[in-house]
């Protein structure tokens, strides 16, 4: 059940394509089926990073069994994606990682 949310002050011309790419990124870097990924893209938000409105992003990446030892690698992959796709420098991206316990995440009327 990976969940990825990208909040950015960058306007995105093709939001559907970008959202699909974000979903595929989460599945790929976490090694989970994309059929379980929930992806959210919130472009063109009022967002300041370091007091400036230059391109920036806040990313939430949660998953059951998130590999905490791999967070540096995951961070590099997410930042690389945002730089390539939205021209956001990696030093203007914060990422909040969450390792969610199965019993604390619901789906389909039950928990995992």
Q: Work out the angle at residue 36's Cα, subtended by the Cα atoms of residues 90 and 95, and round it to the nearest 5 degrees.
A: 20
List Cβ neighbours of 91 (8 Å cut-off, separation of 6 or more).
none
pTM of the model: 0.96
Overall average pLDDT of the 24-48 stretch: 97
Task: Kindly indicate the confidence band of residue 39, based on its pLDDT and cuts at 50, 70 and 90.
Answer: very high
Please report the pLDDT score of residue 99 as a whole number: 97
Tell me the mean pLDDT in the region 9-17.
Answer: 98
Query: Domain locations in the chain?
Result: 3-52+66-99
Q: Given this structure, which CATH class describes domain 3-52+66-99? A: alpha beta
> Average pLDDT of 85-98?
98
**Residue whose tokens read 């995440």:** 105
Residues 47-72 pLDDT 10s: 999 999 999 999 999 999 999 999 99
Pick from 36, 34, 44: which is nearest to 6 by CA? 44
User: Annotated active-site positions, please?
Assistant: 2
pLDDT at residue 15 in the model: 98
Share above pLDDT 70 across residues of the chain, in percent, rounded to a whole number = 100
3-state secondary structure of 57: strand
């Amino acid at each position: 059940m990976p969940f990825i949310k990208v909040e950015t002050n960058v306007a995105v011309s093709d939001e559907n394509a970008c959202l699909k790419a974000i979903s595929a990124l989460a599945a790929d870097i976490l090694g989970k089926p994309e059929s379980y990924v929930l992806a959210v893209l919130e472009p063109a938000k009022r967002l300041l990073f370091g007091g400036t409105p230059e391109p920036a992003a806040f990313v939430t990446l949660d998953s059951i069994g998130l590999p905490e030892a791999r967070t540096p690698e995951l961070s590099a992959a997410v930042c690389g994606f945002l730089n390539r796709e939205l021209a956001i420098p990696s030093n203007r991206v914060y990422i909040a990682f969450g390792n969610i316990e199965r019993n604390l995440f619901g789906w389909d009327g039950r928990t995992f």
